[in-house]
Structure 1
């Protein structure tokens, strides 16, 4: 039992069809419906737990590896934990994941409406990529990323790099609203970069997980952060500055 009075083991035992997870001490799994498998591992002191959910495809070995890694690194536990916490150095089998990430209780909400006390002592963990996180995401940004972009329950998902962008195109009349950069996806960035040529006065400005910013223009020739270039930004250059793993560039 943790210092909030939650007996995690008892709470999990009360979940319908929960069973011990083979090969990992103090861990359980259950399936609330045919498409989902949930798995949870408890810390040795009983004060925190790490839960990984998978949709449609469940890999027991990967799940064990993620839970063990999260428990070893105490991901999302402690006063310094943010809404999204990551640890790099993870690998398993042929998967390209290089990190494990943890969403805080207020972000994942895995047990909201069923067991609020249990929810508050669980990190929602999932295999991830370093390029997907900046490390200073606000609670609102974390919810946007976790619930709207990253698809943490899909084991076959490609990287979704941390990418904020603003743009304006004088030819298509498309553009972002306001001076701030908003979250977007890799394919949208590539599309808007491709539409710059032949549209003088247009620009695309984007930011990666390291906080580096690139401003790309076409005014008869290409300019990147004010420096002239002979050719438009290539897909491989974009992938490199976003930190995408080499296999998916």
Structure 2
């Protein structure tokens, strides 16, 4: 697969300023796609931006991914994350990579190119457990993390199940499913006054919390004077 030749055939492609062996193109006004080829020419790293494109951040992410060969190879995990990244005033502490089968950036246009590209983006370490299955990776990458938005806030790794006997809301079955911390906070607030109800959730380390209301707050069976705060939630999820 000749990556440079394939990229040269993309309409209106141009060199990525300040980064060798890298290019950018804009398929539509809201998007900028940037790709850096690995030094041996056999793999590439692509970062896509929506609405807001930061040249410096993009170059830093691509350079970091290339330096560490992030997500390279057919045996790479569906999602790979490496901490130790920082740039400017951004809060990102990591760079993540989605495998070709997960991102599908070039499906329907150039399948051979798609198979040698990692989709890379600035990220937060608290967003990943490291053992995500293919299905979990697709869900996280395409529906939850918003990897093309450079102004985004952390989307913690969070699995939850709940039952609220007052509102009638609840999850199905005994397994905990992925959700956002906004949903968790909403259901924690709704627990107050709902005797016999619970919210159960886990973080990226597999640590679990069970919050209940029984005339007072209970967290893992221990009485609490006040209900869980947003700061507490983000702390136990590893994002503070």
TM bracket (short chain): over 0.9
Distance 1:12 1:67 in 2: 16
Distance 2:137 2:30 in 1: 25
Structure-1 residue corresponding to 2:226: 231
Q: How many residues align?
A: 240
Calculate the TM-score normalised by the size of structure 1: 0.94
Shift of residue 78 of structure 1?
3.2
**Structure 2 stretches of 5 or more lacking a match?**
none
Distance 1:79 1:227 in 2: 47
Cα RMSD between the aligned structures? 0.9
Alignment of structure 1 residues 70-219 onto 2, 5 Å: 70-78=65-73, 80-219=75-214
- Name which of 35, 42, 51 aligns with 2:37: 42
Structure-1 residue corresponding to 2:3: 8
Distance 1:61 1:159 in 2: 20
Distance 2:228 2:145 in 1: 25
Shift of residue 79 of structure 1?
5.3
Shift of residue 142 of structure 1?
0.4
**Structure 1 stretches of 5 or more lacking a match?**
1-5
| Runs of 4+ residues over 3 Å off in structure 1 | none
Shift of residue 19 of structure 1?
1.1
Calculate the TM-score normalised by the size of structure 2: 0.98
